[in-house]
Amino acid sequence: MKSRLSITQWLAALLLAMAPFLFGREVSASDQSSPSDGPILRIGSKAFTESVVLGELLSHLGRHAGARVVHVAELGGTQILWNALLAGEIDAYIDYTGTIREEILAKSQSQGANLETEEAMRSALAKQKVLMSGRIGFNNTYALGMREDHAIRLDIRSISDLKRHPDLLFGLSDEFMERRDGWHQLANTYALRPKRVRAMDHNLAYRGLVHDSIQVTDLYTTDAEIRFFNLRVLEDDLGFFPKYQAVLLMRSDLVERAPDAAKALLKVQGLVDPAEMSAMNARVRLDGKSETYVAGEFLNNKLAMGLALPSMSQAAEWRRTGERLARTTLEHVFLVAVSLALAILIAVPMGVVSARNERVARVVLGVVSIIQTLPSMALLVFMIPLFGLGAVPAIAALFFYSLLPIVRNTYGGLRQIPSSTRESAEVLGLGPWARLRLVELPLALPSILSGIKTAAVINVGTATIGALIGAGGYGAPILTGIRLSSIPLILQGAVPAAAMAILAQGAFSRLEKKWVSPRLQASGA
């Protein structure tokens, strides 16, 4: 009894400590303090470097205009950001015209709306109370590129010029080989007949260019590597590649709610040219600067905003690593503990009811099994309209995933009690509740605890996806690590997550020793 109490107290303390995370997570890596009384401005970004840099750039602009900025960074895809924008979980983020046309407005497009022009897209978005700004100034689309020195020697400026050099070896990314707007259409349009085309990994293609084992590759026009490897981006003189012009998407109500901040955000129009974007990506990916730092540096140079930049010293880096580990640990424990606690509260009674009624059991076990098969990404997207972004939708998703092992083991544990034992308790004169409490649940406890243990261990692993919707946790450094190809950063998430899973396993094994009657442990149900 004593140990149970202390665990309850511990959980309660944890809940209190973590309460702020329930209401959205401040992911912004910036160290700047925000004014304390300005309007709240929520910025979103996707899980790739350019998007995070632009998110930090918007954050600086908003903060400079007096807003309290929350940057919900590295969200898991266009659909999540778009739904979050519609739900008011974020106020603004930067997307690309090609993506807006193909993914966000896909429905209106399939219904025959003509969305060729940006003006048409702008009015389609306005119907959903979303403002689309003018162009930011760079187009991040596919292009072909080659080494600058080769291009000069062979006098190649545009894709059409490649026709004169059919001997060049093409090394193209697998995705580009497959896409509708990829290699085959491109070759047709430009009548390119190179002698040799090889499909290869995008990162290896850059290495191949440097070592001259290939001469032409596909790239994104703002890739950091363009500067690093000194590449020339060939002009798309026939206009083959669709435009992916960067634009700001902003909720139209922001203009009334925070006019100064809205006006400040619109400063991004025409602010960043392709070379500048590419250089900022390179500062992060190749020079290892933080996104906050790079975006602030850019604004200081271009608009003389005089922002204080975070220190980039080694000591500051260590401090940030420590802080990140502490923060992500708290967030992760919070996600797992709350979702697991809720699941226990709901799933154990569900198991008890199922064990009493076979028809209910079939329905309940069927439904929780189906929930288990839902892809986590889909479940997360469903949660956003209901719960917004941050810890709450992640906890809801984890809760659903925890139900099956606990319900099934509660049901199974109760069903395996021999009928003679159940009847003995009944004839003794114990009422239904007393039988459950004094006899049936204690006998099913080993099975129930092992179900909870399974749920906890699965939960620790699954909670890493919470980072996709801004819930933080160990998934955040993993996501950033993948984005920056930084193994150390990935390990900062993966290693503690594995350690926590082992700890959870150990903790429940100890609880088992403590709570389960010694005579039932050997049988280890």
Partner 1 sequence: MFSLENVSKSFGQTQVLKPTTVEFPVGKSTVLIGPSGCGKSTILRILVGLLQPDSGIVRFDGETMSGQTLLPMRRKMGYVIQEGGLFPHLTAFENITLMANHLGWDRPTCQARVEELSDLTRLPASALNRYPAQMSGGQRQRVGIMRALMLDPPVLLFDEPMGALDPMVRFELQEDLLKIIRTLSKTSIMVTHDMGEAGFFGDQVLMLAEGEIIQHGTLEDLIHHPANDYVTRFIRAQRIPQV
> Given the rule CB under 8 A, which residues bind partner 1?
420-421, 423-431, 434, 438-439, 442-443, 516-520
Q: Among residues 246 and 439, whose Cβ is nearest to partner 1?
A: 439
Q: How far is the CB of 518 from partner 1 (least distance, A)?
A: 7
Q: How far is residue 166's CA from residue 493's CA, in Å, rounded to a whole number?
A: 47
Q: How far is the CB of 412 from partner 1 (least distance, A)?
A: 17
Q: Among residues 197 and 525, whose Cβ is nearest to partner 1?
A: 525
Residues 6+ apart with CB under 8 A from 55: 43, 44, 45, 71, 73, 93, 94, 291
Helix 314-356 / helix 2-22 crossing angle, nearest 10 deg: 120
Residue corresponding to tokens 């008890």: 352
Give the 3-state DSSP-derived string for 106-137, with helices as H, strands as E and coil as C: HHHHHCCCCCCCHHHHHHHHHCCCEEEEEEEE
Q: Among residues 26 and 440, whose Cβ is nearest to partner 1?
A: 440
Q: Among residues 441 and 503, whose Cβ is nearest to partner 1?
A: 441
Q: How far is residue 494's CA from residue 475's CA, in Å, rounded to a whole number?
A: 8
351: Cα separation from own chain's centroid: 33
Q: Among residues 290 and 447, whose Cβ is nearest to partner 1?
A: 447
Task: Give me the torsion for CA of 521, 523, 524, 525, rounded to 10°.
Answer: -120
Q: How far is residue 75's CA from residue 275's CA, in Å, rounded to a whole number?
A: 26
- Cα distances (Å, whole numbers) of residue 478 to 68, 177, 291, 481: 27, 28, 16, 5
Task: Give me the torsion for CA of 308, 311, 312, 314, rounded to 10°.
Answer: 180
Helices (DSSP H) in 211-313: which residue ranges?
225-228, 254-257, 259-265, 274-285, 291-303
Q: Among residues 112 and 518, whose Cβ is nearest to partner 1?
A: 518
Number of residues written out for the chain: 525
Q: How far is residue 361's CA from residue 356's CA, in Å, rounded to a whole number?
A: 8
Q: How far is the CB of 430 from partner 1 (least distance, A)?
A: 6
Q: Among residues 164 and 437, whose Cβ is nearest to partner 1?
A: 437
Q: How far is residue 189's CA from residue 192's CA, in Å, rounded to a whole number?
A: 8
Q: How far is the CB of 425 from partner 1 (least distance, A)?
A: 7
Q: How far is the CB of 26 from partner 1 (least distance, A)?
A: 49
Q: How far is residue 124's CA from residue 108's CA, in Å, rounded to a whole number?
A: 8
Q: Among residues 19 and 434, whose Cβ is nearest to partner 1?
A: 434
Q: How far is the CB of 402 from partner 1 (least distance, A)?
A: 26
Q: Among residues 185 and 517, whose Cβ is nearest to partner 1?
A: 517
Q: How far is the CB of 417 from partner 1 (least distance, A)?
A: 9
